[in-house]
């Protein structure tokens, strides 16, 4: 059976566009730039047809998107008119049953995303790829060209730093409520 490469490519884009966007966003921290990186990633793949016989599609796409995003990063700066929390809320919405829950959840998500954004890049990127993109430490290591053990160490350090920052922030919030 002869398959249509263009139809296969269209299916690849439909299947993986959101994933490629999340990888690009992890690098660029800007939704508009991440969209540009997604387009550039898929154009590159379409031209080279290198996507057809890969063993691990998600890891391959993440690696290509990562490289494209890193190449775009020096030319780009984050959009200062749009707060990071708003961009993150658009990318990772969390619908909840009541408006009160949604408000609390949105505030918590914004706080967590701002804490993630404040991490050093060498810790932030593996955490985002692991948590939001659900990649294994082996896949992250392939993308970042790091040993699996280094990725696991960075993930552990990132989570520990987030725990500490979250604990401090919650303690200061409780003190403000009791004052």
Q: Which of 96-100, 124-128, 149-153 has the lowest mean pLDDT?
A: 96-100
Q: Can you give the CATH number for the domain in which 126 is found?
A: 1.10.10.10
* 31 vs 100, residue with greater confidence: 31
Question: How many domains is the chain partitioned into structurally?
Answer: 2
User: Among residues 24, 40, 75, which one ends one of the domains?
Assistant: 75
Q: Which residues have a Cβ under 8 Å from the Cβ of 52 and sit 6 or more positions away? A: 5, 8
Q: Are residue 89 and residue 69 in the same domain, yes or no? A: no
Predicted confidence at residue 97, as pLDDT, reads 47
- The model's pTM: 0.57
DSSP-derived secondary structure letter, 145: T
> Around Cβ 2, how many Cβ atoms within 10 Å?
4
Rounded Cα distance between 120 and 116, Å, is 9
Range of the domain at 142: 84-178
């Amino acid at each position: 059976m002869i398959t249509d490469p263009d139809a296969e490519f269209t299916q690849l884009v439909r299947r993986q566009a959101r994933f490629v966007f999340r990888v690009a966003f992890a690098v660029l921290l800007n939704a508009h730039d991440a969209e540009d990186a997604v387009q550039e990633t898929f154009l590159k793949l379409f031209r080279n047809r290198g996507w057809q016989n890969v063993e691990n599609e998600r890891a391959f796409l993440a690696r290509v998107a990562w490289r494209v995003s890193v190449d775009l990063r020096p030319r780009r700066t984050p959009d200062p008119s749009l707060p990071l929390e708003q961009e993150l809320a658009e990318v990772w919405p969390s619908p909840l049953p009541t408006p009160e829950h949604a408000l609390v959840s949105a505030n918590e998500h914004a706080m967590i995303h701002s804490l993630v954004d404040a991490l050093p890049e060498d810790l932030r990127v593996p955490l985002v790829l692991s948590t939001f993109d659900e990649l294994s430490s082996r896949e992250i290591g392939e993308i970042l060209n790091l040993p699996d053990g280094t990725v696991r160490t960075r993930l552990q350090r990132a989570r520990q730093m987030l725990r500490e920052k979250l604990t401090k922030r919650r303690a200061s919030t409780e003190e403000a409520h009791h004052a």
